[in-house]
Each structure stands twice: as C-alpha cells, then as structure tokens.
C-alpha cells in the first residue's frame, strides 16, 4: 500500500503481479520450498526463536543484540511467499512465532529480547551499538508484511504499541531523548507503518530520526562519554575518534549536508532508503537532492562493477574513493540488497532509468551471488577474486544476510512495474502477468521473455474496453540499439524517449502487442585508472550480467589468462551447467614459464580457450580460483 504524492509514480503491489519466468520463478520456488523452511530451522536451532521466552539466565548462551531482526525478516519473507502460494502449515508456523514474540512484549510496549532478558537496566543506553531501534524496525517490517498478506493484526498491533512507546521516548520535546539509531532501519520501517495505518505519528517519528542524525551536540559523543566509552560497538570502532567513528554510522554531519557515501555500507543504504521514502511522502526536494548527490558519489567513486558496495571488512563498508580491491572486497550481500531497496525508491520519485539500471546490476550480480543454487548456503561477503578458499556458509552468528535475501526474492513482484495516473511503467524484464486498473479501465499485461539470456521482450495487452495511457519500457544502459514494434510493425507514432524509458501513448485495444528487441552483445568493461586492482584488466558483461572465469572450466590458471584486444566472443547456452547458463567463450593466452627460475628475462604464452560464466553462479561446483577482472593485451 503506497500513497501518491506530487505526481510521483508508485510500485504495483505483489498481489497484482504473478511471475512465471524461466530465470526467476525457479529461484523463488527454491526460496519458498527450501530456503525459508531451512532458515526457520536455523533460527530454531540457534535459539533465535526460543529466546522470545525471555528465559535466559547467567551461564547460558546469551542472545545476540540483533536476534529479533533475524526472526522478523524470516516472518517478512514467509509473508511475501504466502502472497501467491497459500500454505496453511507455514501460516500456522508464523502465527506460532508471532504469538511467542508478542508474549515477550513488556507492559509499556517495549519489545526486545536482549535488553529485556539480559541487560534490562541498560535499555536505550547504547543506541550507537545496541541495535534496539534496528531490531524494532525489522519487527515493524515483518508485521506490516504479514498484515498486508493475511489481514492478521496481532503483530501489527504489537509493533504499533512499540512505535507509540518509542515516540514517547525520542524527540525534540522537553524530557525526551534526542537520540537516533546507530544502525539505521527503523526510519524506513516507520514509513511503511505510516502507509498501512495512515497514522502520521509514525511519519513524523521517521522524520525526527532522519533530521536529528548528526546534529550538534553529537548524541553518540555524549552517549559514549556516559558509558565510559564502553558498548557493543567498541570492538569495531574503538580505535577511531571524532568524525571518523561517526562516519561509520553516517552521523558525522546532518544528513542534508552529507556529500559522500561513508561508513558501514548496510547502514548507509537503509538510511538513504528512508531519506528517499521521506522525500517522496512529504515532497522534500532538498532531501531528494541529497539522495541524488550521495548516489552520484557512490556510483562514480565507490561501487564494484557487480553492484557490490563496501570494500573493507574492517568497517564492513566504504574506505576512500576508487579503493576497490578484488580479493579482499567485502561487498556484503545485505549492502547490495540495500542498494536495490534504495534505487527502487529513487525511481518512484524520479522515473530515470539510471536508478533501475543500478537496481538491476545489483540484483542479478551482487545480490544473487549471495545464495547458492540449492538455496541453502550463503555469502556474507562477495569477493571479485578468489584463490579457491572462499565459499558460501550454511549459516552465520551474525545471520542478517540469509533472511534478507529471502525477503527480497519473495517480494520480487513489486520491483517489476510502477504506475502513475496515466502511465504503466515496466522497470524489469521478468516474464509475468500483471492485472491492474489504469485510466479507470481494467488492464492485463502478459510479459513474455527469456531474459537475461535473450534480448527480446513481448507484451500482450488485454482490455475489456479501449483505453488511452502511456506504456513506458526501460532501455537498459547496456544496450546501444533497440527495435520497438507495436502490433508487429515499427512505429514512431506516439513514441518518445524520456530519461531512459521509451514511452508509447495511444488508444490501446484488446489484443494489442508490443515487442522490444535490444542488442545484447558481449562487451568489455574497463575501470577508472585510479582503481589500481583493475588497471590493465577487463571485465566481461552481457546484458545485465557480469561474468567471471572459474578454475573448473580451465586447464591454465585463471590468474595467468590474458585476453587479446582482438578476441571475438561466442555465446553458448549450456542447459546442463549450473542450472542452465549462457556462457561466453573466446580464445586467449595463458602465461607459461620457460624454466623453474623464480625470475626470468623472457615471457612466454600458450594459446588457451576461456569460458566465462555469470558471476552469480560461481562457487557452486568444485573448489577453485575465480576472477572477474582478467588481464588484457
């Protein structure tokens, strides 16, 4: 449920869209039948569910400060899955978990495992690192999702009580705390809660948390002093001082004064998502311009070619401009998911294909690499190079990424289309059926494609009666030429190109068809020369997919491969490899050694064949090295 503001567009809800796509539908099915049940078992096994009994005693394993969020994201993923796949057993299981969660709520509305069972006397004393407001945000998102899908209010009513309590604690009024979360999340969650309840208190609380962040006197500086510089975040940022530590959680300046993407990358994405949401809801052009400024800096200075962000494990985030190492890249899965969230919000405010292009890049590469093809192993960090020692894990102590992946995959329907009063906008090319109303008329759109392997997308329009509206189709930044046909014929009538979307306005009739065919060549990407790990190297791309070399396909070491500038590429679809992929083949050369001497005066090569596979599919076979950036000569 989303409100319309200032002629913005708004995403079409999940229940209006059904995916039956050869690429995404199987992944959603694996997510539904394997990953979501698997994650519940992991949450149960590790104590994340039973911790809501609040029966921790000294000597037992302590609940983590963020366990609430793992359970909440699982509820959110399960809720989205129920949209198109009613499952009474899953719904009963979610109800049982919700009953347990609600039983843990305190009389004043407070709801948090750690600060109720372990350190109740320290409630709200470590906003910088305690994750209380972060966990509250995820619980709100889970409650909103379950209510939207099932109509059940138990968890929604509980989080409303919690949000009301939080609003009584924080704010600018006398007697209230002027704090804000160290890990952003509640800001965007409160806007979701506002949209479903229309209670403006929640919108105003979100605005408070955004506007108060980074103001002077600095709240976290005062909080640290009150805690004698102890706290949950000390092991991570204890060595930093002043602005450097505050950059970690984007509180070094008031948000409207920020110029650069700084600090912990997941925190940044959740903050920027909330800023875009808030700008949308209240029509704040200044706040949206801040988002645009931060977006431009991130995209042009601090983002991996896969859409991964955050180059350092030390702070799980950004370092300096162009510092994008390959083997040690962090590129947390949650950060790429956050990048999808942010760009989805940006394009609703300003329908520009650059936001959807980036959403697509992150989704098909940095996000999708985060989960194995069988749906039960996960990457936390996503390197762009490996000696063969990097592998997905079954679970993590800090398990934010697995349920985050699940909730995104289960809600993919809402990222495909948007509407305005006069236009239907297609952002992503995913074979699907859309049923909606536009210009007062019922409209059904059947989108057919074999994307991302093939470049043609077809649309069949079904109408009960003739209707006039605009159909906008994104022209991705990876294509230089496209062909547009209406009812089998090329046409320019009523066709315009607006910010990367081709718009066709006409009187549509039942049975009309539109076909978009794009050039989808293999092309070479080169990094800015300041990216030292990519100097003299090339990365291959076809459509939205970034490719890599995996040792499983090569006799020569992938680190020794050098791709001639003159090499041509052949695209070969291999149905039996990695669940079916389009591989890229080419002739190349591999460095060899004339002797066993460590250092030699001559260099020699041998001709070799290379096969590049989509980056998202790496590490699903035997152990072996991997490179995205290969040498070129």
Instruction: Give catalytic residue positions.
Output: 316, 400
Cα torsion angle, 124, 125, 126, 130, sign: negative
Report yes or no: 395 and 46 within 8 Å, Cβ to Cβ: yes
For residues 81 and 283, what is the distance between their CA atoms, to the nearest angstrom? 33
For residues 107 and 468, what is the distance between their CA atoms, to the nearest angstrom? 55
Report yes or no: 539 and 525 within 8 Å, Cβ to Cβ: yes
Q: Using alpha carbons, select from 623, 625, 632, 534 the residue that is nearest to residue 586.
A: 632
Query: What's the half-sphere exposure (Cβ side, CA atoms, 13 Å) at 590?
Result: 16
For residues 503 and 133, what is the distance between their CA atoms, to the nearest angstrom? 42
Residues 6+ apart with CB under 8 A from 52: 71, 100, 101, 103, 104, 113
Give how far Cα 593 sits from Cα of 589, 599, 601, Å: 13, 10, 11
- 150-153-158-161 Cα dihedral, nearest 10 degrees: 130
Report yes or no: 287 and 275 within 8 Å, Cβ to Cβ: yes
Report yes or no: 631 and 562 within 8 Å, Cβ to Cβ: yes
For residues 415 and 417, what is the distance between their CA atoms, to the nearest angstrom? 6
SS3 for 308-366, per residue?
Answer: CECCECCCCECCCCCCCCCCCCCCCHHHHHHHHHHHHHHHHHCCCHHHHHHHHHHHHHH
Percent helix, strand, coil in the chain, to 5, is 40, 20, 40
Other beta carbons within 10 angstroms of residue 292's beta carbon come to 16
């Amino acid at each position: 449920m989303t409100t319309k503001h200032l002629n913005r567009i708004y995403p079409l809800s999940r229940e209006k869209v059904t995916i039956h796509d050869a690429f995404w539908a199987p992944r959603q099915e694996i997510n539904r039948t394997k990953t979501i049940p698997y994650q519940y078992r992991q949450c149960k096994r590790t104590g994340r569910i039973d911790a809501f009994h609040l029966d921790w005693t000294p000597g037992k394993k302590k609940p983590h400060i963020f366990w609430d969020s793992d359970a909440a994201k699982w509820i959110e993923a399960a809720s989205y899955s129920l949209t198109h796949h009613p499952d009474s057993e899953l719904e009963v299981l979610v109800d049982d978990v919700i009953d347990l969660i609600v039983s843990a709520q305190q009389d004043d509305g407070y709801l948090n495992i750690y600060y109720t069972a372990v350190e109740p006397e320290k409630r709200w004393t470590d906003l910088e690192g305690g994750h209380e407001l972060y966990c509250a945000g995820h619980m709100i998102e889970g409650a909103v999702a379950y209510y939207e899908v099932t109509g059940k209010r138990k968890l929604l009513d509980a989080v409303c009580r919690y949000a009301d309590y939080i609003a009584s604690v924080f704010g600018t009024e006398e007697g209230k705390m002027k704090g804000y979360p160290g890990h952003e999340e509640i800001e965007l969650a409160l806007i979701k809660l506002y949209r479903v309840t229309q209670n403006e208190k929640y919108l105003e609380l979100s605005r408070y948390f955004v506007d108060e962040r980074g103001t002077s006197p600095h709240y976290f500086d005062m909080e640290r002093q009150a805690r004698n510089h102890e706290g949950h975040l000390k092991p991570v940022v204890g060595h930093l001082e002043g602005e450097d530590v505050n950059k970690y959680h984007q509180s070094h300046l008031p948000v409207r004064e920020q110029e650069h993407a700084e600090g912990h990358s997941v925190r940044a994405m959740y903050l920027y998502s909330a800023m875009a949401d808030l700008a949308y809801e209240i029509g704040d052009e200044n706040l949206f311009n801040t988002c645009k400024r931060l977006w431009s800096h991130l995209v042009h200075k601090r983002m991996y070619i896969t859409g991964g962000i955050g180059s350092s494990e030390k702070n799980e985030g950004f370092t300096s401009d162009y510092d994008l190492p390959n083997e040690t890249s962090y590129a947390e899965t949650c950060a790429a998911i956050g990048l999808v969230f942010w760009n989805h919000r940006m394009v609703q405010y300003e329908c520009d294909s650059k936001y959807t292009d980036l959403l697509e890049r992150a989704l098909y590469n940095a996000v999708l690499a985060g989960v194995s093809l069988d749906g039960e192993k996960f990457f936390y960090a996503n390197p762009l190079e490996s000696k063969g020692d990097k592998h997905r894990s079954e679970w993590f102590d800090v398990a934010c990424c697995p349920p985050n992946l699940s909730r995104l995959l289960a809600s993919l329907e809402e990222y495909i289309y948007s509407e305005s009063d006069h236009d239907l906008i297609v952002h992503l090319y995913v074979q699907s059926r859309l049923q909606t109303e536009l210009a007062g008329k019922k409209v059904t759109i059947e989108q057919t494609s074999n994307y991302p392997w093939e470049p043609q997308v077809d649309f069949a329009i079904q109408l009960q009666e003739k209707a006039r509206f605009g159909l906008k189709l994104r022209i991705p930044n990876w294509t230089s030429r496209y062909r547009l046909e209406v009812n089998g014929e090329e046409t320019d009538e009523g066709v315009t190109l607006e910010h990367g979307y081709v718009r066709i306005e006409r009187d549509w009739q039942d049975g009309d068809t539109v076909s978009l065919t794009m050039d989808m060549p293999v092309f070479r990407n080169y990094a800015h020369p300041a990216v030292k790990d990519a100097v003299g190297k090339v990365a291959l791309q076809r459509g939205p997919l970034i490719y890599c070399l995996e040792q499983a396909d090569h006799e020569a070491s992938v680190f020794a491969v050098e791709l001639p500038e003159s090499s041509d590429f052949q695209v070969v679809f291999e149905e039996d490899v990695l669940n079916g992929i389009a591989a890229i083949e080419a002739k190349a050369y591999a460095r060899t050694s004339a002797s066993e001497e460590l250092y030699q005066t001559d260099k020699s090569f041998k001709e070799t064949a290379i096969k590049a596979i989509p980056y998202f599919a790496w590490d699903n076979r035997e152990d072996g090295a991997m490179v995205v950036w290969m040498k070129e000569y």
